[in-house]
Amino acid sequence: MTGSTAASPGTRRGRSLVVAGAGLAGLTLALALKRAHGPALAVTVCDPALKAGAVRHRGRAYAVAAGGRRMLECLGIWTELGPGAQAVTEMVISDSRLADPVRPAFLTFGAEADREPGEPLAHMVEAEPLAAALLSACRAAEVDLVPEGIRRAPVEAGAVAVELGDGRALRASLLVAADGARSRLREAAGIGWVGRAYPQSGIVATLSHERPHGGRAFQHFLPSGPFAVLPLADGGRLGHRSSIVWTERAADVPALLGGDAQDVLAEIERRFTPELGRIALEDGPSAHPLALGVARRFRAERLALLGDAAHVIHPLAGQGLNLGLADAAALAEAVTEALRLGLDPGGPDVLADYERARRFDTVAMAAATDGLNRLFSNDSLTVRLARDLGLGMVDRLPGLKRFFAGEAAASRGPRLLRGEPL
């Protein structure tokens, strides 16, 4: 924890911001604003998980698109992460049943024509070093890290009166709800939620394998859901490593993961690509319920929703973190423009600009991932023939493939995603 929990005497009225939640999106926003404004803006992050010894993010890895990487470069932490990041240079997509002897590739991304010039499709970054780098950078930038939750946060006299779990009080111009999909602050503000739980769980694990992946990722669409093999930096017992994101029917997960380690590994081997040879478990697996949801509004009076508090999507496209980073970039830009014009950073016009910048892209991505999951998570022969024909057509249209790759790379949008400082 750094600093005190109140704005410094030299901080002008209205130049303070509180972030509820020390997840990756919340920390990125706090760091971006503190790097842009220094002591002129008091930034506080509140989260009970900041207590010493809290274990988070274990076994997870994320596909960071080019826009997210450029943002992390601007914030000065990519130099720390880069050596451990793995470039994804190719993505192979197949569609089959579990018992099929072969898995024909219907769609491949990776050629220069498929992506931005000089860019890989993404970089795989493990969650623990990313979180550690963000926390360290926030401390160095004098973000106030408070290991307490927020009990209540009414708006009083043009500011948010934040009451912490231990009874301490803060006042801020803007409160950012980055407190997850079950955001208490979103509910307290009366913001509705549109979505549903999937009858699926996402299983994550880190594996080592005997053959190099060469930067290639695999996405096997199976009737129960996609099984993704995502390359990580070399290491582990067998010399090379990959992360898996395995979507499975929730009702089947206890039986699949309830055996001993060898039984679990055997289930993974049935789905894993044979190209990488013998495998071993390095971390996990752990299962997490999957859901689709988008907030009806991304703002209320002096409140902005960020990351999972605003949206959750299916992990099949690997875009959850990228959406959160885009939220942080857009909100940091809106707040920064207001501050530099001498305007209220928590004012309704600022928050409306943020919502306009993020809502359409978020809804479009949620609809796209939901549609893909519905299309592929079934065993209808007619549907399989139609979707495989469609994948084959996309594979033969470089312009369309380039469009999809460009969307994933976040090549448009806020300045930080374009590699431009605030």
Range with top average pLDDT, 5-9, 372-376, 381-385, 400-404: 372-376
| Residues 197-219: tens digit of each pLDDT | 999 999 999 999 999 999 999 98
Q: Is the pLDDT of residue 381 over 60?
A: no
| Residues 101-137: tens digit of each pLDDT | 677 776 777 655 445 667 898 999 999 999 999 999 9
Binning pLDDT at 50, 70 and 90, where does residue 6 land? very low
Burial 269-298, CB ≥16 within 10 A → b, else e: eeebbeebeebebbbbbebeebebbbbebb
Q: Is the pLDDT of residue 397 over 70?
A: no
pTM for the structure as a whole: 0.90
Task: Give the pLDDT score at 286.
Answer: 92
> What are 287's strand-pairing partners?
203
Mean predicted confidence (pLDDT) in 41-51: 95
Q: Is the pLDDT of residue 69 over 60?
A: yes
| Residues 220-274: tens digit of each pLDDT | 988 888 899 999 999 999 999 999 999 999 999 999 999 899 999 999 999 998 8
**Terminal-to-terminal C-alpha distance of the chain:** 26
Nearest to 91 by CA among 226, 274, 216: 216
Ordered by where they begin, the domains of the chain are 16-59+127-195+292-375 (3.50.50.60)
Q: Is the pLDDT of residue 382 over 70?
A: no
